[in-house]
Amino acid sequence: ARSFLYAVNGLQARIFGVWTLLSSVIRCLCAIDIRNRTLYYLTLFTFFLALIHFLSEVFIYHTAALTIGVMAPLMVASFSILGMLIGLQYLEVEALSQNKKKN
C-alpha cells in the first residue's frame, strides 16, 4: 500500500472552510424555501459536488482513505441526492397542479 502525506496550508484550509460554509448556507435556504426550484437545483448540485469531490480524493488522487471521516460525507451526499431526486417529483407535481388552478 502506498502512503501519501500531503500538507494542507492555511489558504487551502480556509478555502475548504468557506466552501463548506457556503454549501451550508445554500442548504439552509433551500430548507426554508423548498418550493424555490432554482434554489432546489442549486442545493442538489452542492451535494453532487461534494460527492464528486470526496470520491475523487479517494479513488483518483489517493489523498484520502475510506475511513469513517470520508465515508460519512459520502453517505450524507448520496442519501441527500437520492432524497432530493425523489422530492423533485413532488415539486414538479405541485407546480403542475398550481398551474392548473391558475387556468
The string of pLDDT tens digits covering residues 61-86 is: 988 899 999 999 999 999 999 999 99
| DSSP annotation string for 59-93 | HTS--S-SSHHHHHHHHHHHHHHHHHHHHHHHHHH
Domain span at 81 = 2-98
Report pLDDT for 34. 94
The string of pLDDT tens digits covering residues 32-59 is: 999 999 999 999 999 999 999 999 999 9
Q: Is the pLDDT reported for residue 2 higher than 70?
A: no
Q: Domain count for the chain, please give it.
A: 1
Residues with Cβ < 8 Å from 81, sequence gap 6 or more?
A: 44, 47, 48, 51
Residue 103 resides in a domain: no
